[in-house]
Structure 1
Amino acid sequence: MSIEFGKSLSVRETPIPGLVVLDLPVHGDARGWFKENWQREKMTAAGIELPDFGPVQNNISFNDAVGTTRGIHAEPWDKYVSVATGRIFGAWVDLREGDSFGAVFTTELDPSTAIFVPRGVGNSYQTLEPDTAYTYLVNDHWSPDATYTFLNLADETAAIAWPIPLDEVEISAKDIQHPRLVDVVPMPPQKILVTGANGQLGLALRAEFGDHPWIEYASRTELDLTSPELDTARRWRDYGTIINAAAYTKVDVAETPEGRTEAWAANVTAVAALARIATANGITLVHVSSDYVFDGTKDGAYSTDDVVSPLGVYGQTKAAGDALVSAVPRHYILRTSWVIGEGNNFVRTMASLAERGIDPRVVDDQVGRLTFTVDIAAAIRALLDTRAPAGVYNVTGQGEPTTWFDIARRVFELTGHDPARVSGVSTDEYFAGAQGPVAPRPLNSVLDARATEAAGVPLGDAGVRLREYLERP
């Protein structure tokens, strides 16, 4: 058997997205040879993302004779394939739904090479030497409830140039009966779950992502995130992303005993469950946070590196949720402020007051920027599509920071009313004599989103979005 010694650890791309060939260092002497078939630390240092795919099983297929032919099978998990002894001709066909459906790649593998096969790519091989041991790591267990896809080894469209003609080798009856490419049902993408689907952000996410079989929108009645059965409520290995748009946002009620319990349940206990599920199943967790994680005393905009210092219960629960999500290997935390979407909100309230002839008193000592849910949804889409680095991203409307008082006057102006009807008042004056508890508000809610924009995430101008919002019927 001929093995190429002395290679450097490296990776080669293929025409099939996500399918990559790895060159592995093999060290030999008179006693034989040695290789590190899977070395997480060195692969990570080399910039190879594969070490985090989370294998749960290691299988070996030993083949006595030359010409043993197996496949083409596509499973709903990732696979890392290598050869322990012998040599194979491998063939891979993209059977995933999308533009690359039907793409083919072939190569030979010996102990000095390996290949990473993403979920939904059909995998097959033919042995070129006797006593070939074909090994593979996978990141899920076989399940009768999972989706599997197959392709006939002799498919004319794929036109795989097998070294040994298929009519001269042993092929299983099942492989002979697999469909041609024209009849293959493509492997669907991993599912996306959106929680809090009926809220302001949830509705924007519906508009952004649309209705597809692989996207699931769930309200609290459809999926209770605080249920002890959450771990078994879905086959979580079928999901690639969870977008958590569910949250308890009644900042003043959160200061009451009952509200405090509900806030911690929704913003911490539920988030902890999602973080646990995401970590265990290799899921990307997207979590929406708030400016309330800061106390608002900073002179200048808050960056993603600033230490959190929440003032009230709501802010404390959001900060705790952020900490939990940050421990998930693949996560995005979007910190935002002054969110406006479909439903009841400050802008709609001001427009209604203007129309009804009511002259409001609005706080003029809190500074920040409006953020429209359409922009949050677009930012989430961009982070997922570009596979941006995990971490915290500030996502707010752009433009000059302003106050609630300024925004109220602008709403009056844009709706054809006299902005002078709006009068300013301090936060302390506004809440003086309030019935019931009042949550402390950060006076500075300005978030620095320059790093987010530099990452290629689109952000709308708050002033432009406000005008567009009020112009909609």
Structure 2
Amino acid sequence: MTEYGKPLRATPTPIPGLVVWELPVHGDSRGWFKENWQREKMTAAGLPDFGPVQNNISFNDAVGTTRGIHAEPWDKWVSLATGRIFGAWVDLREGPTFGAVFTCELDPSRAIFVPRGVGNAYQTLEADTAYTYLVNDHWSPDASYTFLNLADETAAVDWPIPLADAELSAKDAAHPGLAEVTPVPPRKTLVIGASGQLGRALHAEFGDAAHVEYATRADLDLSSPDLTTARRWREYDTIINAGAYTAVDGAETASGRSDAWAANVTGVAALAQIATDNQLTLVHVSSDYVFDGTLNRPYREDDAISPLGVYGQTKAAGDALVSTVRRHYIVRTSWVIGEGKNFVRTMASLAERGVDPKVVDDQIGRLTFTDDLARGIRHLLTRRAAYGTYNLTGAGQPTSWADVARRVFELTGHDPARVTGVSTEEYFASATAPVAPRPRNSLLDLERMEHTGFVPAEADERLRAYLGT
């Protein structure tokens, strides 16, 4: 019997993410009324903002109608309009709770949120029972389902009406037992820009797990008009965009400007739209170049952007697009060092070859190594930190590029006095190609990132390790 007047309340179950919800139902002599789905109230009370896109209604006119244990590739909100059912849920996802079982009765005053990969089955306890499914993906014949036999001896569901007396389909009666079920893998993570220095570090951090995919530009063209159908995006949970146009000076040329806007803005806009349409988390790597470098303190995440050159302008525009995605992380960094050609490798090579370089000494910042950047990105995702922008660089004392060069010379056994510090203007005085303006202050405040529990690595210690000293 439907219970009236209950407050909205969530009750977790032994299956992670499977949550029973008590719903307020208001009734009188005319009947009853309830808010079956109320996004603002329910998400405030802890229901995931799962973004339903389809509403299905199932009607059962006979007691004992039993619908088999199906794990669908979407999240599901199940509630009743009339009648009463017995529900059984079995965790069919990869992980330590695989095979866990939960059962309870549902009526119009009680609903349940069923996460993707949890098998669900329902047995009608009253005639003329109708229940609704809100799901966050459109039904597709290409969708992948996982099934479990209703009579599986391991799950051992105690059906109120014995299956021998129930109404069920031949297909449901023939589904495999738990020992034969392939666990449902987690939603996928896609790393874009996998061939770049950060992409390679992300590959090392996340490894070759089956649910993590790596895409180069040849694998996935962000400028393609078919991008929205290039993958079944609802099978993904996270996109990490490690690809970008990073030729700072090249962006000041006619062709480079076009390429920078295409990669850093147009491509990012496409990813932002896909993430929004499919309820994905979008991780985007930003840059200190979105600031003009005129502050006399480290830049915080909420400081006003004011880019000086084309590259910074495209990164700022990309940040603005990503910030419209509800589930987003903008990871702002500076002075990135990874595998391949970079400033540290160049200085080490000059030291070894006996070249005494002139290096800029009026730009201040901290080195950031791609391994630590990848580690920080994984930390945000694993900890489910609050969405938004986070600064992430190496920690320690601020340095100039000339200071870094001297340290490289010293750590590789050469005289740091061979490095001569010069101003930015002096360094580029003889340049014949366009030169992008640089922020003089590239220091980023790390407090917000540290509050998530992440400990940024000391830049000097990482430099030592990078050089193998």
1:298-309 matched pairs, under 5 angstroms: 298-309=295-306
> Displacement, 1:459?
1.9
User: Displacement of 1:457 after TM fit?
Assistant: 2.7
Matches within 5 A, 1:61-100: 61-100=58-97
Which residue is 1:3 aligned to?
A: 2
Aligned-partner Cα distance in 1 for 2:235–2:43:
26
Q: Partner of 1:218 in structure 2?
A: 215
Aligned-pair CA distance for 1:130: 1.2
Moved over 2 A (4+): none
2-structure distance, mates of 1:146, 1:34:
35
Match of 1:231 among 228, 232, 237: 228
Q: Identify the residue that residue 38 of structure 2 maps to in structure 1.
A: 39
Q: Does residue 392 of structure 2 align to residue 395 of structure 1?
A: yes
Aligned to 1:295: 292
Aligned to 2:445: 448
Match for 1:362 among 359, 363, 367? 359
Is 1:277 matched up with 2:280?
Answer: no
Instruction: State the partner residue of 2:23.
Output: 24
- The answer to which of 139-148 and 198-207 deviates more is 139-148
Deviations 1:9-58 (A, max 9, x none): 12111111111111111111111111001011212333x243x2111111
The answer to whether residue 248 in structure 2 is matched with residue 251 in structure 1 is yes
3-state SS, counterpart of residue 464 of structure 1? helix
Q: Any residues of structure 2 matched to 1:368-379 within 5 Å, and which? A: 368-379=365-376
Alignment partners' CA distance in 2, 1:388 and 1:146:
30
**DSSP-derived class of the 1:302 partner:** coil
Consecutive unaligned residues of structure 2, counting only runs of 5 or more, are none
In 2, Cα distance between equivalents of 1:40 and 1:181: 35
Figure out how many residues of one structure are paired with residues of the other and give that number: 469
The amino acid of 2:408's aligned partner reads V
Q: 1:113 aligns with which of 107, 110, 113?
A: 110
Q: Confirm or deny: 8 A CA contact 2:68 2:168 kept in the other structure.
A: no
Larger deviation: 254-263 or 428-437? 428-437
Paired position in structure 1 for 2:155 = 158
Q: Which residue identity lines up with residue 184 of structure 1 in the other structure?
A: V
Q: Which residue, out of 190, 196, 202, partners 1:199? A: 196
Alignment of 1:158-197 (within 5 A): 158-197=155-194
Once residues 36 and 372 of structure 2 are traced to their aligned partners in structure 1, the CA distance between those partners, rounded to angstroms, is 44
What's the CA shift string for 1:299-342, capped at 9, x where partnerless?
10101110110000000000000000000111100000000110
Matched, 1:242 2:239: yes
1:134 to 121, 124, 131: 131
Q: Answer with 72-81 or 92-101: which moved more.
A: 92-101
TM-score (norm 1): 0.98
SS of 2:15's equivalent in the other structure is: coil
Q: Are the counterparts in 1 of residues 81 and 131 from structure 2 also a CA contact under 8 Å?
A: yes
SS in 2 for 1:282: coil
> Does the aligned pair in 2 maintain the 1:147–1:187 contact within 8 Å?
no
- Counterpart code for 1:237: R
- Residue deviations 1:383-422, cap 9 Å, x none? 1112111100111111111111111111111111111111
Report the more deviating stretch, 22-31 or 258-267. Answer: 22-31
Per-residue CA deviations over 1:401-454 (Å, capped at 9, x if unaligned) read 111111111111111111111110011111112111100000000000111111
Q: How many angstroms does 1:238 deviate by?
A: 1.1
Whole-Å separation in 2 of the counterparts to 1:108 and 1:461: 55
Q: CA deviation at 1:8?
A: 1.2
Two-structure CA RMSD over aligned residues (Å)? 1.0
- What's the % identity of the aligned pairs? 74
Letter of the structure 2 residue corresponding to residue 383 of structure 1: L
Which string of whole-angstrom CA distances, capped at 9 and with x for unpartnered residues, describes residues 186-229 of structure 1? Answer: 11111111110000000000001111222111111111111111
Per the alignment, in what secondary structure is the counterpart of residue 140 of structure 1? Answer: coil
1:67, CA displacement in angstroms? 1.3
Determine if contact 1:378/1:458 at 8 Å carries over to the other structure.
Answer: no
Q: 1:146 & 1:415 partners in 2: Cα distance?
A: 56
Select 1:428's aligned residue among 425, 430, 436: 425
In the alignment, the residues of structure 2 paired with residue 410 and residue 176 of structure 1 have an alpha-carbon distance, to the nearest angstrom, of: 71
Q: Distance in 1 between matches of 2:302 and 2:24?
A: 39
CA contact (8 A) 1:9 1:25 kept: yes
Q: Are 1:330 and 2:322 matched, yes or no?
A: no
Check the 8 A contact 1:368/1:444 in 2, yes or no: yes
Structure 1 gaps, min length 5: none
AA matched with 2:165: E
Moved more, 288-297 or 34-43: 34-43
AA paired with 1:83?
L
Counterpart-to-counterpart distance in 2, 1:186 and 1:412: 53
- 1:30 maps to a residue whose letter is S
Of the three residues 294, 305, 317, the one matched with 2:314 is: 317
What is the TM-score when the length of structure 2 is the normalising length?
0.99
